[in-house]
Amino acid sequence: MLKFAANLTFMFTEVPFLERFAMAREAGFRYVEFHNPYPFCEDIGAVRAAADAAGVRIVHFNLPGGDWDAGERGIAVLPDRQDEFRRGLAQTITTAQRLGCLQLNCPLGYPDAKTSPAVQHQTLVGNLRHAAQATQDAGILLLVEPLNPITHPGYPLVNTSQALALLDAVAHANLMIQHDFYQMQRSEGELTETLRRHQDRIGFIQLADNPGRHEPGSGEINYRHLFAELQRLAFDKLVSLEYSPRTSTLDSLGWVEEYGLTLGP
């Protein structure tokens, strides 16, 4: 049985952040994720209390992404931000432990023009190796997510083969791929074959349809087929709904029954 999570940055935005946990549970979810708790709530104890009261597990969020509003998407590639990266990592691991969170995604960041590609790669590999060990010591899985180059031009990780090469370079068992069907549809297609070939290195799946980044069935991706494939493969890691509902979140969940699924154990 597939295990679905709701991304509370995208879903249940009809209500304030702390109320989304209960609404997700009422809709049938047992797992939730979000990009980052801090813009919504500085009080991490209140976030944990909201999840516990609702009866949902927080499974995933992102390491600090730098100045997100200014367009930064991480700092792990930037040699002159290495201290900031490692401080943010340590603080985020503490936050994740307080939230009982199982996984963290590491946004990599955009390369700067002043540093050579070789130095940036070396910085990235060093930071990820350090982060993979620190998260492993805390019992947390570390993930890297390729993003599509259409909305993220210049991002250093835009397809699965680059992600596999990065995992090989880091060479740490606690680093896996965050495989987002929406991002990979826009980057490379080949969704079924990539899943079949690399499922052992995929630690987490996210999804949305394309175009629009809405619910399954709203666009060009054949999710009925992909869910059947995930079940055939007995995929037992989490599958998160990182989509923006076309209308209301509850109305956007019609595909679950239509495809003969449930939101999970």
Ligand X SMILES: O=C(O)[C@@H](O)C(=O)CO
Q: Give the residue numbers annotated as catalytic, written as ranges.
A: 145, 242
Q: Which two tokens stand for residue 122?
A: 């070396």
33 binds, among Mg ion, ligand X, none (CB under 5 to 8 A by kind): none
Which lies closer to ligand X via its Cβ, residue 63 or residue 93? 63
What CA–CA distance (Å, rounded) separates 93 from 134? Answer: 8
Cβ contacts of residue 34 below 8 Å, gap of 6+? 7, 8, 9, 17, 40, 58, 60, 61
Asked if 206 interacts with ligand X (CB under 6 A), we say yes
Asked if 242 interacts with ligand X (CB under 6 A), we say yes
141-144 vs 57-62, strand pairing mode? unpaired
Within residues 150-189, the interface with ligand X by CB under 6 A covers 180, 183
Smallest Cα–Cα separation from 58: which of 28, 36, 89?
Answer: 36
The 46-85 contact track toward ligand X, x by CB under 6 A, reads ----------------x----------x------------
Check whether the bond before 211 is cis (ω within 30° of 0): yes
105 binds, among ligand X, Mg ion, none (CB under 5 to 8 A by kind): ligand X
Asked if 33 interacts with ligand X (CB under 6 A), we say no
What CA–CA distance (Å, rounded) separates 224 from 190? Answer: 15
Q: Is 139 exposed, middle or buried (0-12, 13-18, 19+ CB in 10 A)?
A: exposed
Which lies closer to ligand X via its Cβ, residue 107 or residue 203? 107
Nearest-CB residue for Mg ion: 180
Q: What is the smallest separation between the CB atom of 55 and Mg ion, expressed in angstroms?
A: 25
Asked if 35 interacts with ligand X (CB under 6 A), we say yes
120 binds, among Mg ion, ligand X, none (CB under 5 to 8 A by kind): none
62 binds, among ligand X, Mg ion, none (CB under 5 to 8 A by kind): ligand X
CB 69 within 8 A of CB 27: no
**Could you write out the DSSP letters of every residue in 191-220?**
HHHHHHHHGGGEEEEEE--TTTS--TTSSS
Asked if 145 interacts with ligand X (CB under 6 A), we say yes
Which parts of this chain interact with Mg ion (CB under 5 A)? Answer: 180, 206, 242
Enumerate binding residues for ligand X (CB under 6 A): 35, 62, 73, 105, 107, 145, 180, 183, 206, 242
